[in-house]
Structure 1
Amino acid sequence: MVSSPPLVQHESTCTVKPRVALPGTPCHLTPWDLCTLSMHYIQNGLLFSNRHSSLPADDAVRSLETALSIALLHFPPLAGRLVSEIAYDDEGQPAGMHAFVVCGDRGAEFTRAVAKHITVADVLSPSDDEPSFVEAFFPLNGVVNYDGRSLPLLAVQFTELADGFFLACSFNHAVGDGAAYWHFFNSWAEIARNAGAGGLSRPPVHERWFIDGRENTPLTLPYTHPDKFIERFASTAISSLVWRSITRARDLPPQKKTSCSLAIDNRHRLRPPLSPDYFGNSVDIIEATATAGELLAPGLGWGAWLIHQAVADHTDRAVREAMTAWMAGPAMYKLSGHDTCGVKMGSSPRFDVYRCDFGWGKPAAVRSGRANKYEGKVTFHPGREGGGSMDLEIRLEPECMKALQCDEEFTSAVCPPPELEII
């Protein structure tokens, strides 16, 4: 069966650089800037109807690209990249990390997309839920600000609709806040409507404020590796959702203890770290526990915090202590020893599954067999469509599976709705 094409299709992506080459000058970041490094980019977009005009999309794109090349002259940090480097103490020992922006002519990303089957009315749907296709209007979904070391600090997507346009910007939050974001967006619009003539009505001020006047010296972050401060929120939020939903489907008594355990990779947690290409086992099991009542009473974030804390606590020291304990009293993993009231997360959505090309093209899907499966086992896979999506295989007793499919919190987060498969 041939799948239908996506509603939003990318036609081209290019780099727009400042009209005049800019020097690679550093822009040191304030504490207000640095504290956003683990947050996502700011994403906003504007919907335009061409009901009263017939501006060809080609002309609109040319105008936007030209205006953007001029706007980047006024906002040089947005044409640069984030840089991080180890900071050393007076004895030459790693003492932390510097992070700053190097302005220059690396440029911003401009993507052109087409969604000819989506109308302005579709975007303005009166439904309480935002249409799922809107997410596809934005570039750099799921990206955190620290990723600006290799990704553009500004990415734009122009999507042509059946009867209008959608213009979206993803803007690195370490460069500026919401006010700065809209200052740029409006300045870009001003340049476009004036066809590049004249200056800006509100020129930006780029001198950053530091309480101790150290604008020419980067601040030292107390980290020597980004793993110590960068959070990728998707996995623990999903684990919390599944843990809560399965606990509710099992109808456990409020006082009953339940756990969520995860297989965790030790390679990058050891100091010094193992190579990512290390061939062999380097995995521990970590666990978050609570009573069913504790888990289900607060919101989703409480369970996610428990899981996050278990992950954060699994440091180099914890890895070494676990190894020492095992050496003193070796034990084997047993399928019969799992928590019948708990949930076990296995595999990973980070595994590079879909590049396994034997000359026959990209795999159509990934599934796992019955090995190492038991009631309460959840297996993660990356979604074929990428972009941070993931597929989950969940093994439950039939009555629990049916209850899970009726769980509103769970089904509202799953698209398409889950299908019942008893394995």
Structure 2
Amino acid sequence: MRNKNIKIEPSDDTRKNFQIKKLKGFRRNANGKIEANKMIDGKRYWELFDHENDAYYWKKNFHPLLNPNPHRPLPELGYKPELLQLKGFLSNGNNLNGKEQRICFKDVWITYWNSHLLSKELHTQHNNKKAADTFFGPFLNLRMCDINRGVISSVLKDKKMEVLQNPLKSSQRYSFNNELKKLSTLFNWYKKNFDQSYENPVCSLHLGEGFIRKIPNKKRKLNAEQVIAFFNALEKGHHGAFWRDFAETQLYIAGRVQEVGGLLWRNVNFHRMEIEICEVAVYIGKYFTAMKDGTKTGETRIIKISAMLNEILLRRYNDKQAECPFVFHMNGKPMSRQLIEQHYNNAFMRAGLEQFRGTHTMRHTMANLVREHLSLDHAKAAGGWKSSRVVENIYTNTPTRLSSESVNCIETVLSEQRKELT
């Protein structure tokens, strides 16, 4: 696609301008092509398209500096800001933020998405898009130089009021910290790449202004008796044996749910009795989306297959389907996070452990149980947490040995607890 900034008038004067979605500046050529025109700083830019939607998108998003070749549609944020509400907070002409006065926030957001976020992980794209849908709308038509701390405060005030007036939204939100973090990152990216004199308008003051209510403390550490009760409750549910195997595997590897839900047979080595945690599931929202290389920290973990893990894996191997690479699956397909959490939470309820929820309880529980009976090094090794002892963690076999000892110890503890209960 070529962008032209030469002012050339079309030869056919009989062509008439028409609108697309109430946007002016389009003409149809004799060959059927749609000509989109855009004036920026006195210069005329134009391009030819086959489809109206493509022409409309180009005219809406083209910018000679920031987005000269808009090629990937970005979902609309669905918000039309009332600029008059922000008028009292805009900088005056003598106190602009930064040197660049031509660039709008929307131009920066689209470029930030196309040139930066599209190269990131899927969940990072999802989280930024979600924050944009929720919070970025009022800034879209503002110039970057007009966005200061007062503008941020004004938007926060309106958004907070909107939440407080809606019981459903109010019950699900504690603050706007996540949106402010994403917005601050965008401003820093803009400063680094386009205007080094720009001052990030997001500050710590806004964290307090966006506060709604305190996040309640979640209980995530089960004791040995509660662990057994939870496993037994899982087994009483639908496909109980399967879900117990899933939860026990997560406990013994002290893993995130993405590591168990994405566990592949090619990473299970029965000959060496090892599990390699090097690929994990990606959940966008509550649903399985893809597999990605590396754990959350980007490192690979080696888990020794203990006696209990070996029994679980052999049971799962008997249920293995030829075309399915997943250790844990439903009818040959990976499970959604929503389904996993539903079975966990139902089991907590059946076991009388209503104060516990979510899959991450298993990871917290394993660390806590290991720490109660073994050293801090054992606890760190069990879940692959970062340790200050870099030499031991990276250059020796200490983490693998400690991890194996951790699993064997907790299996013994739980076996003794079972005997006491029976």
TM-score range, shorter chain: under 0.3
Which structure has more RCO (C-alpha within 8 Å, separation ≥ 6)?
Answer: 1
Q: Kindly indicate which of the two structures has a greater share of residues assigned to strand.
A: 1
| Bigger CA radius of gyration | 2
Q: Kindly indicate which of the two structures has a greater share of residues assigned to helix.
A: 2
